[in-house]
Amino acid sequence: MKYALLLLLLAAARLPGKDSCLECHSQMTGDLQAPASAFQSSVHFQHGFTCADCHGGDPNSDDPDASMSKAHGFAGVPPRTAVPKLCARCHSNPNFMRKYNPSERVDQNAEYATSVHGQHLAKGDAAVATCIDCHGIHDIRAARDPLSPVYPLNLPKTCAHCHADAAHMAPYKIPTNQYADYLKSVHWEELSKRGDLSAPNCATCHGNHGAKPPAVSSVAAVCGTCHVFEEQLFDKSPHQPAFAAMSAGTCVVCHSNHAILKTSDQLLGGKNAVCGECHDPDSAGGKTAAQAAGLIQDLQSRIAAADAILEQARTSGIEVSEAILRQTDARQNLVKARANVHAFAIQAVSQPVQAGLAIAAEDYRAGEAALKEKNIRRMGLATSLAAILVTMAGLWLIIRWLHSART
Amino acid sequence: MLPIQPSPRRKAIAAWFQDRLAWDSVREFIAHKTVPVHSGTIWYAFGGITLFLFVIQVVTGILLLVYYRPTPSEAYESVQFIVTRVAFGWLIRSIHIWSANLLILSAFVHMISVAFLHAYRKPRELVWLSGIVLLALALGFGFSGYLLPWNTISFFATKVGTDMATFIPWMGSTVGRYLRGGDAVGGATLTRFFGFHVAVLPALTSLFLLFHLGLVQKFGISTPPWVEKRSRGAGTRPPQMPFFPDFFLHELMVWYGALALLGILAAVFPWELGQKADAFASAPAGIRPEWYFLAPFYTLKLIPGHVAGMEGEVVGLLGFGLLAFWWAALPFWGARPDGTVRSKLVTGGAVAFLAYLSTFSLLGYLR
């Protein structure tokens, strides 16, 4: 507390715009110059903070002995274990933070204390991540800055810096394949290839400041923050109590955790079907899975057939936009049927499949009618052209007759 | 074989009409009307083809009017209804659009052939000028009609087109606002484009068409100077063919040919309707105007943002204005006061004009 008050008093007492630390260190080289350069790209520098705000000392003095004297509160490099509290001096102070961003959170340190990182740090383990390991040290940028290590696209790599390092993770006995697995996942594909910054990264499932692996019992709830419908269906399904009794991690049993691949109907039926890992093909569960897979594949193939015939009609110049638009409804039923798989009841899958099949059948008939119409048009054209050619030939004969009559 | 004698009853009917219409004079006029015969006679057909396609435009346009509704909420749906529900509606719409395109092509060919045959010279200067006005009106029909289906392409093409109008020096913003009926393309634009398309432009076209055809009848069809010179040298009258029935039957054959081409295009390549216009959507990639506006469109793309302290678009529009004026004034710089033509100058100018239009249209299409 005394340390913090001293720093605040020193900050208040400094000459406006004067920062002797930055002035001197900017003219140095190597490790002594690097922090000064990095600091100038930080959000703190942009808001007028100085080196002394974290390190103490007197930024008004040009004399290094005076500016970096203990008498002026110079603390040097703060120990790693002191970092969260140092940052929290400002970031946990609502009155202070309100000046910069009224809606800024101020509970990061409290959350951090509940995280695995914070708990280890509290036990004196300085090797765990603190604020500076994720946010940077001198060049701390706003989280929304694309160059920030905690920007959604950069965050997985930031976590991997420690969690993919086997030597670093060895004392904690946790695997180091999460990052490699995540890079194969559909979540990373959405984030990196489609640029959807709301796609899940490490912090979405584990939390950011309060990072912790989700408990087995809360996996479905974590996935359900995005996959709401699937979670609701799962909670009412026969798998919910069964998985709970086995302490199985619900969603991850079928979908894995970090290497969550894009789902396909092959998960239900086929060689790589996940249902087959627990259910024999002849068991009730195995039969339900096979039936659901069959229904979904049937709808998918009917939609594809309708698409193909409608495209054929469209490229022939027949107006089929209404049927093409209606195909969207058929596709929505396919999506619904696939989501309803999480109810693990054939009725839930069958209902949207039947609705989708009806639409696809209607659209297929529209495509057939359009192709029939195309043939009628071609016949009409051929007949008209024949009549025109006969008339033209008649006109030519009359012209010839006129010429011969004159000569 | 004895000639067939008309019955007394038929004679009486003919006499009744003769007393009231005096059609003997018309018959006399037609019987003595001739058309020059030479190696370029085929080019005379394009005036007739353009007229034939105009009649098709009027007929199919009236049929489309039966179902079309010119409001942003109904225009697209009404066209969709025409092409999907109305018997032969797809054919009528497709013929209307294809014949519009062929009409503009045919009018271009007619104009260029008139230049090469030097048919613009005294006393036909006003025939040429009224023809230029008719071509401009045809382009106006194309521009205004393009928006009427209210689909994505037409919406954004009209946006680009009316944006260009705002670069006209001194009065650009007024012209732009007048065309759009506001600051942006919207319901007001559709309503007034519809008004232009079905009322204003047809009325003006009818007037100029009557004027144009009246002058053609008055002065007859022009004989190229080299044919006249050759005949003078030989001491004979330039060879002619009777307008009726010879030229008329030839023309009829060509019209049937145009009808066959129109039928093939309309039936095999019906014009797509596309997606309904959405004012809040972003413009589709690669948007470009109809083929007959491609040359100026591509030229504007090549002009730098600023030229000699003026905006590139302003420079472009001034350039097009000067080019159009130069071309319209052809009878005055292409012929001498004594009526002889500056053949090399006109042919060179026409070739350069044609080369510019075709090259830049092609480049604009491939871009």
Query: What would the pLDDT profile of A364-394 be if each residue is shown by its tens digit?
Result: 999 999 999 999 999 999 999 999 999 999 9
Side-chain-facing half-sphere of A371: CA atoms under 13 Å:
12
Q: A321 touching B, CB under 8 A?
A: yes
Q: Is the pLDDT of residue A55 over 90?
A: yes
Inter-residue contact A159 to A179 (CB < 8 Å) = yes
Q: How many CB pairs under 8 A join A and B?
A: 55
Q: A290 touching B, CB under 8 A?
A: no
* pLDDT tier for residue A7 given thresholds of 50, 70 and 90: very low
Inter-residue contact B201 to B141 (CB < 8 Å) = yes
Q: Is the pLDDT of residue B284 over 90?
A: no
Taking CA atoms, what residue in B is nearest to A386? B260
What is the amino acid identity at position A124? G
CB pair distance less than 8 Å for A398 and B249: yes
What is the amino acid identity at position A26? S
From CA B215, how far away is CA B126, in angstroms rounded? 8
* pLDDT tier for residue B40 given thresholds of 50, 70 and 90: confident
* pLDDT tier for residue A8 given thresholds of 50, 70 and 90: very low
Q: In A81-217, at which residue ranges do the beta strands (DSSP E only) sit?
A: none
For an interface test with B, give the residue of A326, A395, A396 to mutate (most B CBs within 10 A): A395
- End-to-end C-alpha distance for chain A, whole angstroms: 125
pLDDT score for B22:
87
Cis link prior to A146 (omega < 30° from 0)? no
CB count in 10 Å sphere of residue B268: 14
Cα–chain-centroid distance for residue B160?
Answer: 22
Rounded average pLDDT over A150-164: 96
Inter-residue contact A75 to A68 (CB < 8 Å) = no
Q: A405 touching B, CB under 8 A?
A: no
From CA A88, how far away is CA B17, in angstroms rounded? 108
A-chain CB neighbours of B257 within 8 Å are 392
CA distance to partner chain A, nearest, from residue B44 (Å): 18
Cα torsion through A257, A261, A264, A266, rounded to 10:
-70
CB pair distance less than 8 Å for B269 and A385: no
pLDDT score for A356:
98
Taking CA atoms, what residue in B is nearest to A403? B246
Rounded average pLDDT over B292-312: 90
From CA A339, how far away is CA A228, in angstroms rounded? 10
CA distance to partner chain A, nearest, from residue B81 (Å): 10
Annotate A82-132 with three-state secondary structure.
Answer: HHHHHHHHHHCCHHHHCCCCCCCCCCHHHHHHHCHHHHHHHCCCCCCCCHH
Q: Is the pLDDT of residue A11 over 50?
A: no
Q: Is the pLDDT of residue A162 over 60?
A: yes
Report the residue from A377, A392, A398 with minimal CB separation from B267. Answer: A377
Question: Bridge-partner residues for B276, per DSSP?
Answer: B151
Q: Is the pLDDT of residue A9 over 80?
A: no
Contacts of A206 (CB under 8 A, 6+ apart): A212, A213, A214
Inter-residue contact B151 to B277 (CB < 8 Å) = yes
Cα–chain-centroid distance for residue B167?
Answer: 25
What is the amino acid identity at position B255? W
Q: A124 touching B, CB under 8 A?
A: no
Taking CA atoms, what residue in A is nearest to B80? A319
What is the amino acid identity at position A167? A
Angle B172-180/B152-165 helices, nearest 10 degrees?
Answer: 150
Taking CA atoms, what residue in B is nearest to A366? B84
CB pair distance less than 8 Å for B256 and A388: yes
- From the list A352, A357, A351, A298, the residue with the least C-alpha distance to A327 is A357
Q: A170 touching B, CB under 8 A?
A: no
Q: Is the pLDDT of residue A305 over 50?
A: yes
Taking CA atoms, what residue in A is nearest to B255? A392
Taking CA atoms, what residue in A is nearest to B270? A317
pLDDT score for A75:
87
From CA A400, how far away is CA A380, in angstroms rounded? 30
From CA B351, how far away is CA A189, in angstroms rounded? 57
Q: A385 touching B, CB under 8 A?
A: yes
Cis link prior to B245 (omega < 30° from 0)? yes
Q: Is the pLDDT of residue A4 over 60?
A: no
From CA B257, how far away is CA B102, in angstroms rounded? 13
Rounded average pLDDT over A236-243: 90
Question: Among the residues of chain B, which ranges form H helices?
Answer: 8-21, 23-32, 45-65, 75-84, 89-116, 125-147, 152-165, 172-180, 187-195, 201-219, 225-234, 248-268, 294-302, 312-328, 330-333, 343-366
Side-chain-facing half-sphere of A155: CA atoms under 13 Å:
24
Q: Is the pLDDT of residue B355 over 90?
A: yes
Inter-residue contact B23 to B17 (CB < 8 Å) = yes
Q: Is the pLDDT of residue B319 over 70?
A: yes
Q: Is the pLDDT of residue B19 over 60?
A: yes
Q: Is the pLDDT of residue B2 over 60?
A: no
Kindly report, residue by residue over B338-348, the tens digit of the pLDDT: 878 999 999 99
pLDDT score for A184:
95
From CA A389, how far away is CA B39, in angstroms rounded? 25
Q: A401 touching B, CB under 8 A?
A: no
CB pair distance less than 8 Å for A388 and B269: no
Inter-residue contact A6 to A69 (CB < 8 Å) = no
Structure tokens at A376: 């009628």
- From the list B150, B143, B159, the residue with the least C-alpha distance to B282 is B159
CB pair distance less than 8 Å for A319 and B269: no
CB count in 10 Å sphere of residue A296: 22
Contacts of A246 (CB under 8 A, 6+ apart): none
CB pair distance less than 8 Å for B270 and A317: yes
pLDDT score for A277:
86
Inter-residue contact B165 to B172 (CB < 8 Å) = yes
Rounded average pLDDT over B23-42: 87
Taking any CB pair shorter than 8 Å as contact, residues of chain B touching chain A are: 80, 83-84, 90-91, 94, 245-246, 249-250, 252-253, 256-257, 259-260, 263-264, 267-270, 272-273
CATH number belonging to domain B41-279: 1.20.810.10
Kindly report, residue by residue over A90-106, the tens digit of the pLDDT: 999 999 999 998 888 99
Rounded average pLDDT over A138-152: 95
Q: Is the pLDDT of residue A16 over 70?
A: no
A-chain CB neighbours of B90 within 8 Å are 318-319
Q: Is the pLDDT of residue A2 over 70?
A: no
Q: Is the pLDDT of residue A14 over 50?
A: no
* pLDDT tier for residue A6 given thresholds of 50, 70 and 90: very low
**Highest-confidence range of A83-92, A98-107, B278-287, by mean pLDDT?**
A83-92
What is the amino acid identity at position B45? A
Q: Is the pLDDT of residue A340 over 90?
A: yes
CB count in 10 Å sphere of residue A246: 11
Considering chain A, what is the average pLDDT of its residues? 90
A-chain CB neighbours of B149 within 8 Å are none
Report the residue from B91, B256, B270 with minimal CB separation from A391. Answer: B256
**Highest-confidence range of A6-15, A60-69, A324-333, by mean pLDDT?**
A324-333
From CA B148, how far away is CA B96, in angstroms rounded? 13
Rounded average pLDDT over A41-51: 92
pLDDT score for B1:
47
Considering chain B, what is the average pLDDT of its residues? 92
Inter-residue contact A70 to A7 (CB < 8 Å) = no
For A79, the enclosing helix (H) or strand (E) is none
Structure tokens at A209: 């400041």
pLDDT score for A17:
64
Structure tokens at A108: 């990061």
- From the list A327, A317, A331, A316, the residue with the least C-alpha distance to A365 is A327
* b/e map A10-32, b = 16+ CB within 10 Å: beeebeeeebbbbebbeeeeeee
CB pair distance less than 8 Å for A402 and B256: no
Query: B291 exposed, middle or buried (CB, 10 Å; 0-12, 13-18, 19+)?
Result: middle
B-chain CB neighbours of A402 within 8 Å are 245-246, 249
Of the listed ranges A234-248, B169-183, B250-264, the one predicted with least confidence: A234-248
A-chain CB neighbours of B263 within 8 Å are 381, 384-385, 388
Of the listed ranges A378-382, B28-32, B313-317, the one predicted with least confidence: B28-32
3-state secondary structure of A199: coil
Inter-residue contact B267 to A378 (CB < 8 Å) = yes
Of the listed ranges A14-18, A95-99, B58-62, B221-225, the one predicted with least confidence: A14-18
pLDDT score for A190:
95
Pairing of strands B240-242, B34-36: antiparallel
CB count in 10 Å sphere of residue A91: 18
